[in-house]
Every structure is written in structure tokens, then in C-alpha cells.
């Protein structure tokens, strides 16, 4: 006689043990250290920190290790940890004009104050597998240092490309923020549509890179006219400051590495606005150039309503973009289909059998009529 399957608890325990073994792989191979991940997979660490919304390279490395390299799982681990942390203070707005840049490029001007700094990039490399890396061992000398003297970029404010345009009045000015107004916080307030730009940018900052990349791409291919130029992309470190209540003035609590992108987009003007350029903005932790570029394109697309444009393309529709951008939510909900649905499926089975029976009976009735 059939007995309902028991032993869920034991099965779960054993499943986790098996995953532990899968994660570890061959025990004869040395285990990965967090330092190795943090140092040698910095772009994976950056993505996990950005979409996990927590700047902590060591914990991100731990999450990557624990997730066996599944970055979305690692992002989930970091988020679930982050949500338990107390709020100690709010930082001052980051001043990326004072970034110590390692890379800064503009696609709109050949030269500009502060210069073009190529910095570390995969760009212009030929994507040929480097078999020398496969043979790398502890005795291999470290990669060669760049030749020549480093460009003198440190310590002088580097004006934003977009503010050079703004001086001429050619680009839309950002509405001045109200310093007294609190910035929205999507981790403490559910998103209320239509969402303001602060909330939108927060959602985009933690949004799945693949989702943003696809949407940004769609906006370039005619689903929403974006006509973008990469006004400026910069990467580097920025000081984080807080104002402790007991001091009353700002103190630096550390540096974080950021990638920032400001896109310049065509705009034909509207009833109230003269023709001018408009902006899209992207910001992420660590080296995350693809993410910030995609984010800037999507940010601009989502400003359609504000600029009086028609909302016709998916990338312009904020409920569509933002409600499906979080990969922790998306991954959970897509994968919940693995959970049993016996009860609902039984309901559907009963319905479809009844419908088919009725149809068969009706057909049989028709055959009998002469």
C-alpha cells in the first residue's frame, strides 16, 4: 500500500551535504582562500557587492566561495546578511568629482581638463585565451607594470564632462536637490509607483546586470530612442564621510572603489523645454563598467515621463523595468516552481478532465443526430 513519502528532513540534510561536496570539488585540490577570490576575481567581487548592496570585499568573497561561484546566489547570501545589520549612520553624498581616478574616459571630447586615462580595461585586448595563465604557478613573475610615468591625475579635482556642457546651457540641468529632504530608501520603504528618480536609481544600482544590459541594448536598437553618447566614465576611489552627532562635522571613515557613468542623450525639446542634451546616470561598487553604462542608459529611458516623451518601449516603463530588476527576487520566484504544486495541479487536472469530458459528450451527441 502506498504510504506518503516521509523523510523530508533527512533528505534536506543529505542534499546540503552533497552540495557541500560539490562546492568543495576534489579534496586533493587546495581550497580557495577568500584572499585569492578577493584579489584575483575583483570583478566578480564588485558585482556581488553592487547587487548585494553591501561594500565588503571580504564578505563578498566568502559569499562567492560559499555559492560555488554562482554570483546570483552569492548576491542573495550577502543581501540576507546585510538586512540584519543595524543602521549606524548615513554618509554624506559622495563627491565623485574628487575621485582618485584609475580610469577616466570620455567618448564625446578628444581631450578635456584632467585628460583621458585609459587605466585597467579589457578594451582593445584581443580575446584570445592566454595559455600562459594556465601554466601560472607560485614562481611565475607578476604581470608587467605599465611603462612610462603615470599621468598626473591625482589630487586635483577632475571636472565632469557634463558640467562643461552645462556651463554652456546645452545640457539639461539636474533639478537641485532639497538638502533637507530625505532620500528614499528602498530597503526601508516598499517602492511606490510611479517612483521618483532617487528610488529608481537605487533600484537600478542593485538591479541585475544582465537585465539592465538587455534593456539598455533594446533602447539602442529602437525600442525607445536613446541616442546616447558616453559623456564620461570614471573609476577610482572616493572618500566616504559621515557627520557623527557628537562632532557636528564630517569625518572620513574610509575609501571605496566606484565606477560611474554619465551618458549624454539627444533630446529634441518639448513644449516647455528647448532642444538640449539630457542625462543618464550609473554608479556601482568596484570595477563595473558594463553595469554603470547599462544603468545610465536605462536611467535615461525611465526619465521619459519627466521629459514629456511617449512611453512606448519596455525600457521606458518603470513598473516593467524596476519590478523585475532584482535578481534575488526574480531568481527566487522563478525557482519556486520547483516547490510542489500538487494541489493546484490537481485542481487544473480536474478542470481539464471535466472540460474534455463535456466536449467528448457533446461531440458524441452530434454524431448521433442524423
Partner 1 sequence: MTMPAPTRASTPTSEGYNFAYLDEQTKRMIRRAILKAVAIPGYQVPFAGREMPLPYGWGTGGIQVTAAVIGPKDVLKVIDQGADDTTNAVSIRRFFARTAGVATTEATREATLIQTRHRIPELPLNERQILVYQVPIPEPLRWMEPRETETRKMHALEEYGVMHVKLYEDIARFGRIATSYNYPVRVDGRYLMSPSPTPKFDNPKMDRMAALQLFGAGREKRIYAVPPYTEVKSLDFDDHPFEVQSWDQPCALCGATDSYLDEVITDDRGGRMFVCSDTDHCRRRRDAQEEAAQ
Binding residues for partner 1, rule: CB under 8 A, are 1-2, 4-9, 11-12, 76, 79-80, 82-84, 86, 187-194, 319-320, 323, 328-329, 331-336, 339-344, 346-351, 354-355, 358
Number of other residues whose CB lies within 10 A of the CB of residue 109: 13
Task: Please spell the DSSP secondary structure of 175-223, one letter per residue.
Answer: PPP-TTSPPP-TTTS---SSPPHHHHHHHHHTS-HHHHHHHHHHHHTTS
Of residues 79 and 279, the one with the C-beta less far from partner 1? 79
Question: Smallest distance from the beta carbon of 51 to partner 1, in angstroms?
Answer: 12
Of residues 56 and 260, the one with the C-beta less far from partner 1? 56
Q: How many residues belong to the chain? A: 370
Of residues 80 and 250, the one with the C-beta less far from partner 1? 80
Q: List, in sequence order, every beta strand (DSSP E) within 20-140.
A: 100-105
Of residues 258 and 328, the one with the C-beta less far from partner 1? 328
Question: Smallest distance from the beta carbon of 183 to partner 1, in angstroms?
Answer: 15
177 neighbors 192 (Cβ within 8 angstroms): no
Question: Smallest distance from the beta carbon of 78 to partner 1, in angstroms?
Answer: 9
Of residues 169 and 332, the one with the C-beta less far from partner 1? 332
Question: Smallest distance from the beta carbon of 332 to partner 1, in angstroms?
Answer: 3
Question: Smallest distance from the beta carbon of 342 to partner 1, in angstroms?
Answer: 5
Furthest CA-CA distance within the chain? 98
Backbone angles phi, psi at 176, to 5 degrees: -60, 135
**How far out from the chain centre does Cα 300 lie?**
16
282 neighbors 204 (Cβ within 8 angstroms): yes
Of residues 268 and 359, the one with the C-beta less far from partner 1? 359
Number of other residues whose CB lies within 10 A of the CB of residue 260: 25
Question: Smallest distance from the beta carbon of 81 to partner 1, in angstroms?
Answer: 9
Q: How far apart are CA 309 and CA 225, in angstroms?
A: 10
Alpha-helical (H) ranges within 25-56 are 34-40, 42-52
Of residues 161 and 186, the one with the C-beta less far from partner 1? 186
Helices 71-82 + 57-66 axis angle, to 10: 130
Question: Smallest distance from the beta carbon of 74 to partner 1, in angstroms?
Answer: 14
Of residues 10 and 271, the one with the C-beta less far from partner 1? 10
Question: Smallest distance from the beta carbon of 62 to partner 1, in angstroms?
Answer: 15
Q: How far apart are CA 36 and CA 29, in angstroms?
A: 14
Amino acid at each position: 500500500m502506498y504510504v506518503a513519502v516521509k523523510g523530508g528532513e533527512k533528505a534536506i540534510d543529505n542534499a546540503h551535504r552533497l552540495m557541500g561536496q560539490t562546492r568543495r570539488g576534489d579534496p586533493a585540490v587546495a581550497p580557495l582562500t577568500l584572499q585569492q577570490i578577493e584579489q584575483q576575481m575583483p570583478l566578480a567581487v564588485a558585482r556581488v557587492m553592487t547587487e548585494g548592496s553591501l561594500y565588503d570585499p571580504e564578505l563578498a568573497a566568502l559569499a562567492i566561495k560559499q555559492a560555488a561561484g554562482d554570483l546570483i546566489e552569492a548576491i542573495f547570501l550577502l543581501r540576507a546578511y546585510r538586512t540584519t545589520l543595524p543602521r549606524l549612520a548615513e554618509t554624506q553624498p559622495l563627491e565623485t568629482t574628487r575621485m582618485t581616478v584609475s580610469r577616466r574616459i570620455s567618448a564625446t571630447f578628444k581631450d578635456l581638463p584632467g585628460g583621458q586615462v585609459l587605466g585597467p580595461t579589457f578594451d582593445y585586448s584581443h580575446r584570445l585565451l592566454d595559455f600562459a595563465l594556465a601554466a601560472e604557478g607560485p614562481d611565475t613573475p607578476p604581470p608587467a607594470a605599465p611603462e612610462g610615468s603615470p599621468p598626473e591625475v591625482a589630487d586635483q579635482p577632475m571636472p565632469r564632462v557634463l558640467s562643461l556642457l552645462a556651463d554652456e546651457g546645452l545640457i539639461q540641468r539636474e533639478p537641485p536637490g532639497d538638502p533637507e529632504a530625505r532620500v528614499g530608501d528602498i530597503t526601508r520603504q516598499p517602492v511606490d509607483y510611479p517612483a521618483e528618480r532617487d528610488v529608481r536609481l537605487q533600484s537600478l544600482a542593485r538591479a541585475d546586470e544582465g537585465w539592465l544590459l538587455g534593456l539598455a541594448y533594446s533602447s539602442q536598437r529602437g525600442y525607445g530612442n536613446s541616442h546616447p553618447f558616453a559623456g564620461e566614465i570614471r573609476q577610482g576611489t572616493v572618500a566616504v564621510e559621515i557627520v557623527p552627532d557628537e562632532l557636528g562635522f564630517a569625518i572620513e571613515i574610509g575609501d571605496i572603489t566606484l565606477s560611474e557613468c554619465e551618458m549624454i542623450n539627444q533630446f529634441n525639446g518639448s513644449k516647455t523645454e528647448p532642444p538640449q542634451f539630457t542625462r543618464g546616470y550609473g554608479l556601482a561598487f568596484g570595477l563595473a563598467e558594463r553595469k554603470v553604462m547599462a544603468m545610465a542608459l536605462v536611467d535615461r529611458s525611465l526619465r521619459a515621463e519627466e521629459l514629456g516623451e511617449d512611453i512606448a518601449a519596455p525600457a521606458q516603463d518603470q513598473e516593467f523595468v524596476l519590478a523585475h530588476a532584482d535578481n534575488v527576487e526574480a531568481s527566487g520566484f522563478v525557482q519556486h516552481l520547483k516547490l510542489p504544486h500538487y494541489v493546484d495541479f490537481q485542481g487544473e487536472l480536474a478542470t481539464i478532465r471535466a472540460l474534455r469530458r463535456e466536449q467528448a459528450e457533446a461531440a458524441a451527441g452530434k454524431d448521433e443526430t442524423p
